[in-house]
């Protein structure tokens, strides 16, 4: 369907598949526009709290109504936890869900956000609180913690950042240079929702060319205050020996000419003994000043503790590999899928190949490590794909076994060659490949390991459970693929999961159908202003209707299917210049453009 490399003996398989490789490149979030990243590490996982740019390509101002949270343990696969905070959560707010910052204190998570404050001037800084880093969050105060009348010399009270020092003292910083505004700072009480003393100013003698986006972090007793400077904005920093300064200017972290967005906003974190700069650019299709994208690169210090300038990379920071998540593992030779024998779940259960049926017994979860290896976790049992007795011998059986971090429980997944849909699965301990033993194609034949022999019994394809791809009947080499700027017909979706959908009962009418992202649960195909998008279901407005369609017999070919809008009768999903929208059908060409095939990789 979208693969250029083919093998004649595998034609039927390849027509249904593509490479599930997801390269860990920048921007790290590709399905929506995100900005102003606030990164944090909680429980050995990285969380990034972002604003959500919703401006159209023709808008000339920001349109931001909510915030999202993304998390990752490998910096390659980012889970979108959805719209976890919005303007609706603050009764005193009217607009502008701008750049915030998250911090943990005790068993609570506090999110400081600036919003347009109807009741006390222009902008105010509110506090949302939760028992979990992914929410649900609620307004901790019912009013702004910081309001205009508290800072008469600060026009825009925005871009809060929060820091807790080693002695437990918490500090809040914010500011913007409009009308000569400067960085403001104040201590917080232990409850994190009350000020502890008077608001202080950090002048431009300490942070030259300050524009906005202050951020404080500490390393080896040095306090680093980074900020956006000038216009277009670059990231500079100053240092001090105390969180309140005085600060001494040190230099530039990120040049304005090195990013595609005129605004800049950063956070700096350490994760697994490596420091990172998290920032935004405008590199996604149709990106721009009001449609930005979060990116991430490594950050280094010299021997004197000075931050070295960061040069943005396309490659980013994650280890290239297959996306984490649930998969069905299908053998190329037999066209059968991995599962435990008879669905058993005890330690030592033999792994076999069985007719693919998309059952839970055939679901494995890939867990990616920062060194590029994987664990394959059987969903039903929670146990790992292992090799019996840790053997390194040819013919040793593949089994289920409880996780004990043994080297024989790690696997290397290698793409065969460019544009190939085939993968080898190599045991990290034995360096031998997973295969259907003796090249058997029989039902419930044993699976084990053997040295690389180039046979199809050692080639595997990984499919998302329950996934389909939607193929325009007139363009069999393309599939519907979602990006931040809409849904398009593409030949080589990257990643493959951006072209995979899970059909579910219609959100508005269960007799209809809705299409959920297999990678981002809670995101659905919906039309907005007649254009098709993949968007998060916030349960507001007409979302459910916009995301519900009725399957009809193909308008141009009864072997296909057409999708009629639930709230716009006689309007159908169709492609126009490779972009998907809903339209009335008026011609034979329209009927062809509105006819599709649903293709399941497991059939």
Q: To which residue do tokens 């453009």 refer? A: 593
Residue 212 annotated to the active site: yes
The continuous run of DSSP H or E covering 14 comes out as helix 11-14
Which residues is 452 bridged to in the sheet? none
| 457: helix, strand or coil | helix
- Alpha carbon 124 to its chain's center: 29
How many helices (H) and strands (E) the chain has is answered by 3, 46
The DSSP call for residue 71 is E
Contact 298, 54 (CB under 8 A): no
Q: State how far the Cα of 419 lies from the Cα of 4, in Å rounded to an integer.
A: 6
Q: What is the largest CA-CA distance in the chain?
A: 79
User: How far apart, in Å, are the Cα atoms of 225 and each of 172, 195, 251, 308, 395?
Assistant: 12, 20, 11, 15, 59
Using CB atoms within 10 Å of the CB of residue 319, give its burial: 0 to 12 exposed, 13 to 18 middle, 19+ buried: middle
User: How far apart, in Å, are the Cα atoms of 455 and each of 158, 424, 431, 438, 447?
Assistant: 61, 10, 16, 10, 14
Tokens for 582, please give them.
Answer: 């809903």
Contact 73, 82 (CB under 8 A): no
Contact 249, 236 (CB under 8 A): yes
Residues 6+ apart with CB under 8 A from 380: 343, 345, 360, 361, 363
Peptide linkage before 232 cis (omega within 30 of 0): yes
Tokens for 527, please give them.
Answer: 């039309």
Residue 357 annotated to the active site: no
Q: State how far the Cα of 122 lies from the Cα of 117, in Å rounded to an integer.
A: 5
| 209: helix, strand or coil | coil
Q: State how far the Cα of 279 lies from the Cα of 335, in Å rounded to an integer.
A: 44
Handedness of CA 11, 16, 21, 25 (dihedral sign): positive
Which residues is 411 bridged to in the sheet? 374, 427
The residue from 25, 36, 89, 212 that is catalytic is: 212
| 143: helix, strand or coil | coil
The radius of gyration of the chain's CA atoms, rounded to the nearest angstrom, is 26
Q: State how far the Cα of 442 lies from the Cα of 293, in Å rounded to an integer.
A: 49
User: How far apart, in Å, are the Cα atoms of 350 and each of 256, 338, 384, 385?
Assistant: 57, 10, 12, 10
E strands along 26-182, which residues? Answer: 34-42, 45-52, 66-72, 79-86, 93-95, 101-105, 108-117, 123-130, 138-139, 161-164, 170-174
Which residues is 513 bridged to in the sheet? 505, 549
The residue from 53, 66, 83, 233 that is catalytic is: 53
User: Residues with catalytic annotation?
Assistant: 53, 212
């Amino acid at each position: 369907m979208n693969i250029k490399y083919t093998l004649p003996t595998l034609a039927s398989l390849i027509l249904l598949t593509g490479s599930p490789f997801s390269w860990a490149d920048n921007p790290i979030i590709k399905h929506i526009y995100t900005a102003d990243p606030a990164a944090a590490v909680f429980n050995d996982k990285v969380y990034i709290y972002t604003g959500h740019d919703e401006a159209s390509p023709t808008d000339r101002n920001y349109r931001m109504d909510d915030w999202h949270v993304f998390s990752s343990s490998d910096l390659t696969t980012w889970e979108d936890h959805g719209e976890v905070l919005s303007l609706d959560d603050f009764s005193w707010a009217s607009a502008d869900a701008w750049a915030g910052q998250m911090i943990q204190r005790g068993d609570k998570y506090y999110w400081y956000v600036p919003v347009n404050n109807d009741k006390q001037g222009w902008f105010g800084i509110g506090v949302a609180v939760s028992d979990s880093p992914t929410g649900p969050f609620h307004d901790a105060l019912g009013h702004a913690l910081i309001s205009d009348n508290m800072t008469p010399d600060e026009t825009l009270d925005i871009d809060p950042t929060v820091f807790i020092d080693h002695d437990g003292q918490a500090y809040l910083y914010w500011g913007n240079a409009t009308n000569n505004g400067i960085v403001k700072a104040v201590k917080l009480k232990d409850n994190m929702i009350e000020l502890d003393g008077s608001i202080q100013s950090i002048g431009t003698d300490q942070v030259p060319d300050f524009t906005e986006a202050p951020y404080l972090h500490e390393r080896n007793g040095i306090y680093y205050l980074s900020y956006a400077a000038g216009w277009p904005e670059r990231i500079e920093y100053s240092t001090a020996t105390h969180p309140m300064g005085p600060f001494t200017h040190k230099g530039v972290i990120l040049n304005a000419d090195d990013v595609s967005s005129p605004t800049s906003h950063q956070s700096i974190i350490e994760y697994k003994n490596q420091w990172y700069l998290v920032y935004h650019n405008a590199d996604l299709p149709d990106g721009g000043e009001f449609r930005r994208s979060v990116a991430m690169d490594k950050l280094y210090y010299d021997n004197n503790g000075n931050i070295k300038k960061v040069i943005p990379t396309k490659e980013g920071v994650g280890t290239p590999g297959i996306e984490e998540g649930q998969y069905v593992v299908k053998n190329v030779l037999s066209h059968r899928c991995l599962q435990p024998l008879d669905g058993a779940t005890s330690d030592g259960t033999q792994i076999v190949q069985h007719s693919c049926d998309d059952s839970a017994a055939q679901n494995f979860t890939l867990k990616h490590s920062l060194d590029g290896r994987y664990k394959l976790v059987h969903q039903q049992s929670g146990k790992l794909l292992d090799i019996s007795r840790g053997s390194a011998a040819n013919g040793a059986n593949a089994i289920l076994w409880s996780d004990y971090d043994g080297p024989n429980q790690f696997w290397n997944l290698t793409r065969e060659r460019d544009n190939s849909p085939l993968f080898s699965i190599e045991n990290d301990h034995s360096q031998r490949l997973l295969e259907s033993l003796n090249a058997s194609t029989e039902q419930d034949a044993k699976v084990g390991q053997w040295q690389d022999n180039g046979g199809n019994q050692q080639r595997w394809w990984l499919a998302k459970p329950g996934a389909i791809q939607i193929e325009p009947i007139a363009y069999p080499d393309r599939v519907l693929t979602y990006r931040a700027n809409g849904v398009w017909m593409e030949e080589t979706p990257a990643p493959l999961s951006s072209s995979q959908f899970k059909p579910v009962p219609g959100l508005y009418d269960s007799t209809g159908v809705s299409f959920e992202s297999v990678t981002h649960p809670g995101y659905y195909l919906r039309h907005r202003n007649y254009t098709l998008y993949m968007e998060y279901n916030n349960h507001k407005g007409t979302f459910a209707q916009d995301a519900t369609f009725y399957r009809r017999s193909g308008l141009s070919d009864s072997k296909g299917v057409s999708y009629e809008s639930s709230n716009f009768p006689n309007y159908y999903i169709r492609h126009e210049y490779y972009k998907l929208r809903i339209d009335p059908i008026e011609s034979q060409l329209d009927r062809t453009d509105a006819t599709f095939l649903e293709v399941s990789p497991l059939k």
